[in-house]
Chains A and B, each alone.
Chain A
Amino acid sequence: MKIVIPIQLVPDRVEEIVINKEKDGFDLEEIAWILNEFDDHAVEQGIILKEKTGVEVVVVAAGGEKSDEALFTAAAKGADRLIRVNVDFSTEKVNNHALAKIFQTIIMEEKPDLILTGVSNHNGFDGAIGALLAEYLGMPYIGYISGVDIEGMSALVLKDYPGGIKAKMEVALPAVLGISSSEKPPRYVPISKVRQAMKTGSVQEKDGDIDLAGGLIIDRMYEPEVSGRAEILSGSLKDIADRIAEIVKSQGLI
């Protein structure tokens, strides 16, 4: 039994994200890249399955050398093999259609029984990569998964619905699952283990072509609009209390 987990880097929203001069995308050089949070959960779910059933876990990252940290972190958690696709997001535009095509080639070579990936990302704005991947591979897809068990040649999955409702489903393998959260939150990996993995582990490198066809064509991006600012009340306690009363009245709440 083999699981392939395609992961990708996305812009780190802690750092400022700048729109490029052409206003049709981000200023790629300014972006700090970070592992997509849902992909982190997909890796965790894969490792949990490995611990339960001893499956082989292969993690595939698109994003060039920048994704090494994410790959070695996965290795430190217990991933068996690492594959890196050498495309550089800092210089080339990318979308989920292109990424899905890159992952498709590798997955067809690996012939896994299960593909786990993050249910969404804020990378290309062109849909869920899992669904695209399933389409290209001709496999079934279920998204918003928060638990996976393997039984024979099928997987029992827990799918989340809005309002906290969950459904248990059975899916025949091979299949693609979009993970929204792993059974347990992703574990902490100490730096020493990541460094150890960097020293001893190896990454299989692949070249990839970026083919944006099928994705969105962005005309223009906009900065978030600054809406009304918060009003800070100051003055004596009485002034503040009066002002609050005034606001509450003016909003028709009393």
Chain B
Amino acid sequence: MPHRPDFWGIEPEWMRYFIYGILTLALLVMLIRTFYQARLWWKVGQPEKRFDQPFKRIGRMLNQVFVQQRILSQPYAGIMHALMAWSFFILFLGTPIGIVNAYVFPGFLKGQIFLIFKLIMDLCVIVFLIGAGMAAYRRIVIRPKKLTLERRFGFTLVLLTLIILTGPSIEGARLAVLSIEENITYGSWMPVGWAIAQLFLNSGSTVDTVHLWHTIFYYSHVGLVITLFLTLPVGTMIHVITTPLNVFFSKLQPMGQLSAVQEDSAHNLILADRLKNLTWKQLMDGDACTECGRCQEVCPAYAVGLELNPKKLVLNIRDALHRDGALIIQGTEPSIPLVGGTVTTNVLWECTTCGACIKECPAFVDHISDIVSMRRHLVNEGEVDDMLQTSLANLGRYGNSFGKSGRMRAGWAKELEFEIKDATKEPVEYLWFVGDYASFSPTLTETTIKTAKVLRSAGVDFGILYDTERNAGNDVRRVGEEGLFEVLVEQNSKALQKADFKAIVTTDPHTYNTLKNEYPEEVINGRPILHYSELLDQLIASGKLKFNKKLDLKVTYHDPCYLARYNGVYDAPRRVIHATGCELIEMPRNREHGFCCGAGGGRIYLDEGTMPERPSENRIREGVTLKDVSTFVVACPKDISMFQDAVKTTSLEDKLNVKDLIELVYEAL
């Protein structure tokens, strides 16, 4: 009867204990080295609570580690990785199962069970080799720009492949001997091993020669596994430990909710000016990074040739930790500073906080948390450019970045033939939080007026906060001015608490995000926060908003980062577009993969600087590739400014017409 022989052909008997011993030792060395490296996270980094909701965390980890949902969102690399990971994992389980067979339930692997076990194992070998082949092809032939093309990755691939290949080679040699000596018939259950056995049999080797080969394969296999264990903590395979951990500890709060500045026991702010003022989780991110480059590939700053590369950002912090971590633990300040050294200030200011990197990262690295932490340090030191300084000073004094009197906030409403209710004076169903750009930007007031008219024609009972509204603070927070963000939240909270309303509606996705995810619960009281696209969608569905015209335009739609990627509002604006009679043609980068206009994260307050191409221009060029599309629809006031500029600077004004969603609705009334 077929069964799993333990240590077949390995003599003398003490040898098996020696192998157990040396493997255990290697495993211990691996664990100690890993621990030695990982200790830097908490020895250097600041405390941060990431142990809440353990079941949710375990669920997320299992999904990403075993199902590999994020990894599989990229077809080639995803399948490649999943094939190797799943097969290697099952093959890796082969050894503990063998140990169970030898010592716990002796001989349970026999007969049909044994054959099925072996069949699965051998199929996994084939699966692994397909994955490894894809990986080799990708690394040698395709050579994507986003990959780190360094030898250490090749080393890992060769090492793993050799481990996988020596497994069935041992089996093959054994099967060859058994074929000669016992004339076994179950060989085809182990297709890979059996194929190798045939090579031995056809070569006419003697039993002794095959035995010798068996021994060579066996010790090579053990040696390779030991090599894997010993090199794992310093090689690319460390990710099998760090990445699942990083997924487990990843942020559970909404993506659009940043953490507040931490304070030490003496109430001093902890600002990320140096490595030790990053949190342990921020440091763990670097070791969890697999260098796959997906963040780099989707980053708008990187795409237009700026210095920021999210992958490099994370890896530079990792390398600094590995280089200086031990020194920092001893209390020595490293010679290269974090901000201005490891990470340049340009890199920090170039980020639009669009979140594409975060959503793309299969290791759940939070790049934006690093960037905002370090920006907070820069702002605290007053290291801001002139434009940002002026914007922040204006926001502090007047509550808007335009430096206009707060009393003028509702100036646009004077052009309406009806009066908008003051929500602080009379109850309204919907409180319209208008936002800075829609209120003050001279090019946008027309759109704002149309929004008011549409809401009125749909019979919506709405009001505004008039001059008690301030900038909601979303971008102020992301630019790193946490204190000012708190002031703005306090001022708006006061106004909101004075008002009587059932829901808040905004046209600005940035305002939407911070109201929804960052404003105090006692102010919002669980009342819905709606983007106007969501409200319009509801009004159309309930029949309150009816169209008399069908626009019959071919349009494309640009997903605002803070509406789409951050808050998952993809379908409402699309349904509204359909309802106006327009045909929607999607851009290649849409929905979660939408490409940022370049204005987010406070970039709109900063001096733009020079760049080969603006992200907004890049996006417009994507828009014009769509056949017969005449209109580029946006759902964010800042997007109108950004893209109306971009069609001019790219001289594509006659090809694409930039329109706000509300303009389509207004025209179709």
Q: Taking beta carbons and an 8 Å cutoff, which residues of A are in contact with B?
A: 12, 14-16, 34, 185, 187-195
Most buried by B among A14, A15, A34: A14
User: How many angstroms from the CA of A154 to the CA of B392 in the assembled complex?
Assistant: 38
Knowing A14-B404, A15-B405 are in contact, say whether A190-B382 is a contact too (CB < 8 A): yes
One of B384, B386, B481 near A191 (C-beta < 8 A): B481
Closest to B402 in A: A14
User: How many angstroms from the CA of A12 to the CA of B397 in the assembled complex?
Assistant: 10
Within 8 A of A (CB), among B472-522: 481-484, 486-487
Q: Which A-B residue pairs are the 7 nearest by beta carbons?
A: A191-B483, A192-B483, A187-B382, A188-B382, A188-B389, A191-B484, A15-B405
Q: Give 19 A-B pairs besides A12-B397, A190-B483 with Cβ atoms closer than 8 angstroms.
A: A14-B405, A15-B405, A16-B407, A34-B397, A187-B382, A188-B379, A188-B384, A188-B388, A188-B389, A188-B392, A188-B393, A190-B379, A190-B380, A191-B483, A191-B484, A192-B261, A192-B269, A192-B380, A193-B483
Overall SS of chain A's interface: loop
Interface string of B357-396 (1 = CB under 8 A from A): 0000000000000000000000110101010110011001
Contacts of B487 in A (CB 8 A): 191
Q: Does B334 contact A (CB under 8 A)?
A: no
User: How many angstroms from the CA of A185 to the CA of B389 in the assembled complex?
Assistant: 11
Contacts of B213 in A (CB 8 A): none
User: How many angstroms from the CA of A189 to the CA of B382 in the assembled complex?
Assistant: 6
Would B389 and A195 count as touching, CB distance under 8 A?
Answer: no
Contacts of B380 in A (CB 8 A): 190, 192-193
Within 8 A of A (CB), among B576-608: none
Contacts of B388 in A (CB 8 A): 188
Question: In the complex, what's the smallest C-beta–C-beta distance from B80 to chain A, in angstroms?
Answer: 47
Would A14 and B403 count as touching, CB distance under 8 A?
Answer: yes
User: How many angstroms from the CA of A188 to the CA of B393 in the assembled complex?
Assistant: 8
Contacts of B219 in A (CB 8 A): none
Contacts of B386 in A (CB 8 A): 185
User: How many angstroms from the CA of A34 to the CA of B261 in the assembled complex?
Assistant: 29
Contacts of B397 in A (CB 8 A): 12, 34
Would B486 and A191 count as touching, CB distance under 8 A?
Answer: yes
Would B481 and A190 count as touching, CB distance under 8 A?
Answer: yes
Q: Taking beta carbons and an 8 Å cutoff, which residues of B are in contact with A?
A: 261, 269, 379-380, 382, 384, 386, 388-389, 392-393, 396-398, 403-405, 407, 481-484, 486-487
User: How many angstroms from the CA of A187 to the CA of B384 in the assembled complex?
Assistant: 9
Contacts of B482 in A (CB 8 A): 192
Contacts of B392 in A (CB 8 A): 188
Closest to B269 in A: A192
Knowing A185-B386, A188-B384, A188-B389 are in contact, say whether A14-B398 is a contact too (CB < 8 A): yes
User: How many angstroms from the CA of A193 to the CA of B386 in the assembled complex?
Assistant: 19
User: How many angstroms from the CA of A190 to the CA of B393 in the assembled complex?
Assistant: 9
One of A14, A16, A195 near B483 (C-beta < 8 A): A195
Most buried by B among A12, A188, A189, A195: A188
Closest to B385 in A: A188
Would A15 and B407 count as touching, CB distance under 8 A?
Answer: yes
Closest to B394 in A: A14
User: How many angstroms from the CA of A34 to the CA of B396 in the assembled complex?
Assistant: 12
User: How many angstroms from the CA of A193 to the CA of B382 in the assembled complex?
Assistant: 10
Closest to A16 in B: B405
Question: In the complex, what's the smallest C-beta–C-beta distance from A33 to chain B, in angstroms?
Answer: 11
Contacts of B398 in A (CB 8 A): 14
Contacts of B382 in A (CB 8 A): 187-190
User: How many angstroms from the CA of A34 to the CA of B388 in the assembled complex?
Assistant: 20
Q: Can you list 12 A-B pairs with a CB-CB distance of less than 8 A?
A: A14-B398, A14-B405, A16-B407, A187-B382, A188-B384, A188-B389, A188-B392, A190-B380, A190-B481, A191-B483, A192-B261, A192-B380
User: How many angstroms from the CA of A194 to the CA of B487 in the assembled complex?
Assistant: 12
Most buried by B among A34, A185, A189: A189
User: How many angstroms from the CA of A12 to the CA of B406 in the assembled complex?
Assistant: 12
Contacts of B484 in A (CB 8 A): 190-191
Question: In the complex, what's the smallest C-beta–C-beta distance from B443 to chain A, in angstroms?
Answer: 15
Question: In the complex, what's the smallest C-beta–C-beta distance from B239 to chain A, in angstroms?
Answer: 38
Closest to B392 in A: A188
Contacts of A34 in B (CB 8 A): 397
Contacts of B403 in A (CB 8 A): 14
Closest to B388 in A: A188
Closest to B386 in A: A185
Question: In the complex, what's the smallest C-beta–C-beta distance from A188 to chain B, in angstroms?
Answer: 4
Question: In the complex, what's the smallest C-beta–C-beta distance from A34 to chain B, in angstroms?
Answer: 7
Most buried by A among B386, B481, B483: B483
Contacts of A194 in B (CB 8 A): 483
User: How many angstroms from the CA of A140 to the CA of B397 in the assembled complex?
Assistant: 36
User: How many angstroms from the CA of A15 to the CA of B467 in the assembled complex?
Assistant: 13
Question: In the complex, what's the smallest C-beta–C-beta distance from B277 to chain A, in angstroms?
Answer: 15
User: How many angstroms from the CA of A185 to the CA of B386 in the assembled complex?
Assistant: 9
Contacts of A189 in B (CB 8 A): 382
Contacts of B404 in A (CB 8 A): 14
Closest to A32 in B: B405
Question: In the complex, what's the smallest C-beta–C-beta distance from B48 to chain A, in angstroms?
Answer: 20
Question: In the complex, what's the smallest C-beta–C-beta distance from A78 to chain B, in angstroms?
Answer: 11
Question: In the complex, what's the smallest C-beta–C-beta distance from B483 to chain A, in angstroms?
Answer: 3
User: How many angstroms from the CA of A51 to the CA of B167 in the assembled complex?
Assistant: 70
Question: In the complex, what's the smallest C-beta–C-beta distance from A2 to chain B, in angstroms?
Answer: 25
Contacts of A15 in B (CB 8 A): 405, 407
Question: In the complex, what's the smallest C-beta–C-beta distance from B404 to chain A, in angstroms?
Answer: 7
Closest to B384 in A: A188
Question: In the complex, what's the smallest C-beta–C-beta distance from A66 to chain B, in angstroms?
Answer: 13
User: How many angstroms from the CA of A64 to the CA of B83 in the assembled complex?
Assistant: 73
User: How many angstroms from the CA of A15 to the CA of B408 in the assembled complex?
Assistant: 9
Closest to A34 in B: B397
Contacts of A193 in B (CB 8 A): 380, 483
Contacts of B389 in A (CB 8 A): 188
Contacts of B405 in A (CB 8 A): 14-16
Question: In the complex, what's the smallest C-beta–C-beta distance from A158 to chain B, in angstroms?
Answer: 21
Closest to B396 in A: A191
Question: In the complex, what's the smallest C-beta–C-beta distance from B247 to chain A, in angstroms?
Answer: 33
User: How many angstroms from the CA of A185 to the CA of B405 in the assembled complex?
Assistant: 24
Question: In the complex, what's the smallest C-beta–C-beta distance from A50 to chain B, in angstroms?
Answer: 15
Closest to A192 in B: B483
User: How many angstroms from the CA of A12 to the CA of B382 in the assembled complex?
Assistant: 24
Question: In the complex, what's the smallest C-beta–C-beta distance from A186 to chain B, in angstroms?
Answer: 9
User: How many angstroms from the CA of A14 to the CA of B399 in the assembled complex?
Assistant: 13
Contacts of A192 in B (CB 8 A): 261, 269, 380, 482-483
User: How many angstroms from the CA of A193 to the CA of B392 in the assembled complex?
Assistant: 14
Contacts of A188 in B (CB 8 A): 379, 382, 384, 388-389, 392-393
User: How many angstroms from the CA of A193 to the CA of B389 in the assembled complex?
Assistant: 15
User: How many angstroms from the CA of A49 to the CA of B306 in the assembled complex?
Assistant: 37
User: How many angstroms from the CA of A187 to the CA of B407 in the assembled complex?
Assistant: 27
Question: In the complex, what's the smallest C-beta–C-beta distance from A189 to chain B, in angstroms?
Answer: 6
Question: In the complex, what's the smallest C-beta–C-beta distance from B492 to chain A, in angstroms?
Answer: 15
Question: In the complex, what's the smallest C-beta–C-beta distance from A171 to chain B, in angstroms?
Answer: 30
User: How many angstroms from the CA of A34 to the CA of B393 in the assembled complex?
Assistant: 12
Question: In the complex, what's the smallest C-beta–C-beta distance from A67 to chain B, in angstroms?
Answer: 14
